[in-house]
Chain A
Amino acid sequence: MLRVSEVTIERPPQQFRYDLFVQTGEIAAIQGVSGVGKSTLLECLAGFIHPVAGDITWNDVNLLPLEPRERPVSMLFQEHNLFEHLSVRDNLHLALGKDNNNDIHQAALALGISDHLHKLPAELSGGQRQRVALIRTLMRPEPLILLDEPFSELDDDTRSVATGWAREQARLRQKTMLVVTHQAEDVTRLADRVITLV
């Protein structure tokens, strides 16, 4: 279980406080008005921001002393998810290893980007880039997945396919997932529970 206990983050002039938990294998949608600290929470869980007070534990292991690369977390950022100077295939191989070629191909087929694997990220649309980043994040071995607005650039049909695929993968790979989203449909299709930040 992920437990965030009385965590305080200072980002002058703002101060954010969090107190929540997510069960192992659960998919939680994080919602709240702009500026309430949704992305800040994910960055804190991934280790890029340090709280001034509180505790964060994953299966009773304290995450706070760990560097980002030591945490059991795979994160999709709002931007800069892909190395722009590497092809899509190289980006995926780098994150997932070359042994997963078959899984990568299946995922790319499912999300409609299999024809773009040889391209550079700059040659892709915003939605295509998000789908590549989604594959890369969900197929990583880490058990805790953090997605920061992963479907914001997708049209309705693609969004439906992508949320369905994400839910299926999370279940299959027994991931615990926190998804920041503004869209009510994403919550309905994907999440088990909504955590509203105020």
Chain B
Amino acid sequence: MAFYGLLSFSGQPFQWQLLQDPYLFSILRFTLWQSALSALFSVLFAWPVALALLHLRDSHHKRWFLSLCVLCFVLPTLILITGIVALLGQSGVLTPFLGEDWNIYGLSGILLAHIYLNMPFAIRAIYLRLSAIPAGSWRLVQQLKLNRWQQFRYLEWPAAKSATWITLGFVMVLCFNSFAVVLALGGGPKSTTFEVAIYQALKYDFNIPEALLLSWIQLIVAGGLYLIVTTFGHVSWLGQEVKNRTFLPHPSPRERRFYNVVYSAAWMFLLAPLTALIPKTRDVWLDTEFWSSLIRPLSTSILLALMTTLLSVTLAYAALQPYRKALRTRSSSALWLDGLASHTLVVPAMVLSVGIFVFCLPRMDIDQWGFFLVMFVNALVSIPFAITQLKPALASYDQQYWPIIQTLKLGFRQRVYVEWKFIRPVLMTAASFVSVLVLGDVAIYSIFGNQDFVTLPWLIYGYASTYRIAEAALASVVLLGISLALVLLLEKQRSRNA
């Protein structure tokens, strides 16, 4: 449907002459530049933090830190943007220390937000690989008396090398498709990315041919990047770290000091924009008008998240059935179906939204059906995330239990009972993950949303763009609370699954 929409709109031809427009090249250049820099810095800063996590002793706060990393990666972007503005904006807490030339809007703000959102993902991905280094290798390192550089060169880097490159590529794709950050912190046409340009062409200029052409370029570049990245493998970041290491060398006092500094700095970096929200909220805590204006967007967001999650998880489960059947019968189509289910990410949310928008425009009243379209497109976009969670669990269930189920001749209800009991925790994990992503959606809402059903992130965007930072901060704190609860639920279920 989306591709049909992307092909044409009421017979209007593509504006091919746009391909020679310098504006287009400036967008492409900036989009690639900011995404490459964001990915590079995210991974570069993640390495020392992952090493610190590995070599510092296990503790409660380390587990909290890893949970915070999950929260930061899935955090509704508008919360972070409000936090960054509260910290480094025109009247930010830290702004007086940054000199007169400092301006949060533009490349600096975009990079800062992207690093904040993606560095935690890179930390977890690298740390998971490092924590899987077997105890025998660490013993060998000690036995051979390798120095710190050699330890990194021959043990740590090879263990996490592939994760580093894949993470780098994956983060670049994510930043290439970034919307809310660039919309809020871009600060003008000089710092525009494809997603924002598509949004502007569609919603402000109502230039559908231009939006379609931009969408195709976005799809080709982002999809191509994603396919290249996934050729090299997938990166695991939500798994449990290996805890049964029996031996790990003690760091020297100097190393230990370094790790402590890095670890503390990472804590501060991740907590600063979130804690910066609190003082800004004090003016509106008791403002009843604010709270009454919050009720409807909050209810809309929760209802939207609930319905989308239900739809997304159900569709993901249904989409996995042919794959499971092919796997059980050892059919070669299992690989093909596996690829199909995992590669939906090739199509960015904005491109999918534009395709469906153009498809629906002559066929229905988009304003009237906006809520359901936001739900439907969000569900489509989040299916791969739900599949990522469900697929290994269902494959392992089938591999382990398919013969007993057959030999016990279980009926339909009994099979549903046994399978439900098995996958319930994984379904809960998938549902919390999808819910938190949907709760933070801005890109899809920006295309299909309207004033009849304002969501909480869009309300925050409205407050932030009119410099009502106190209201934006308090609404962000509410959204943060819900996201935090979902992430804690996700972490709890994940440790139960493990």
Contacts and interface: CB of A to CB of B under 8 A. Distances in A.
B410 A77 contact: no
A75 interface: yes
Interface residues of A, number: 20
A74 interface: yes
A81 B406 contact: no
Given A86-B418, A94-B418, A80 B408 contact: no
A103 B406 CA distance: 23
Contacts of B408: 94-95, 140
Interface stretch (B23-31, B397-405, B433-441, B448-456): B397-405
Contact of B403 (A48, A95, A140): A48
Contacts of A73: 407
Interface string B377-406: 000000000000000000000001101101
A20 B407 CA distance: 23
A98 B40 CA distance: 60
Contacts of B406: 46-48, 67-69
B404 A77 contact: yes
Contact of B404 (A47, A67, A80, A85): A80
A77 B405 CA distance: 12
A68 B422 contact: no
Contacts of B400: 80, 84
Given A85-B421, A86-B418, A94-B418, A69 B403 contact: no
Interface in A41-83: 46-48, 67-69, 73-75, 77, 80-83
A83 B415 CA distance: 11
Nearest to A77: B403
Contacts of A75: 403, 407
A85 B407 contact: no
A94 B414 contact: yes
Nearest to B421: A85
Nearest to B409: A69
Contacts of A86: 418, 421
A34 B24 CA distance: 69
B427 to A, nearest CB: 13
Q: Is the interface of B mostly helix, strand, loop or mixed?
A: helix
B312 to A, nearest CB: 24
Interface in B407-431: 407-410, 414, 417-418, 421-422
Given A68-B406, A75-B407, A80 B421 contact: no
Contacts of B414: 94
B404 A83 contact: yes
Nearest to A47: B406
Contact of A74 (B401, B407, B410, B418): B407
A67 B407 CA distance: 10
A48 B418 CA distance: 21
Contact of B422 (A81, A82, A83): A83
A47 B405 CA distance: 13
A83 B403 contact: no
Most buried by B among A83, A86, A94: A83
A73 B407 CA distance: 7
Interface in A92-110: 94-95
Contacts of A85: 421-422
Interface string B5-43: 000000000000000000000000000000000000000
Interface in A125-173: 140
Contacts of B417: 94
B17 to A, nearest CB: 61
Most buried by B among A74, A85, A95: A85
B418 A80 contact: no
Contacts of A69: 406-407, 409
B388 to A, nearest CB: 21
Interface string B322-350: 00000000000000000000000000000
B403 A80 contact: yes
Contacts of B421: 83, 85-86
A81 B408 CA distance: 10
Nearest to A94: B414
Contacts of B401: 80, 83
Contact of B418 (A46, A67, A83): A83
Contacts of B409: 69
A67 B409 CA distance: 10
A46 B404 contact: no
Contacts of B422: 83, 85
A81 B418 contact: no
A8 B410 CA distance: 30
Nearest to B408: A95
B182 to A, nearest CB: 45
Contacts of A81: 404
A85 B404 CA distance: 14
A176 to B, nearest CB: 16
29 contacts: A46-B403, A46-B406, A46-B407, A47-B406, A48-B406, A68-B403, A68-B406, A69-B406, A69-B407, A69-B409, A73-B407, A74-B407, A75-B407, A77-B403, A80-B400, A80-B401, A81-B404, A83-B401, A83-B404, A83-B418, A83-B421, A83-B422, A85-B421, A85-B422, A86-B421, A94-B414, A94-B418, A95-B408, A140-B408
Enumerate the 3 nearest inter-chain pairs by beta-carbon distance, A residue then B residue, closest first.
A68-B406, A69-B409, A75-B407
Interface of B: 400-401, 403-404, 406-410, 414, 417-418, 421-422
Given A83-B421, A85-B421, A140-B408, 13 more contacts: A46-B403, A47-B406, A48-B403, A67-B406, A69-B406, A77-B403, A77-B404, A80-B404, A83-B422, A94-B410, A94-B417, A94-B418, A95-B408
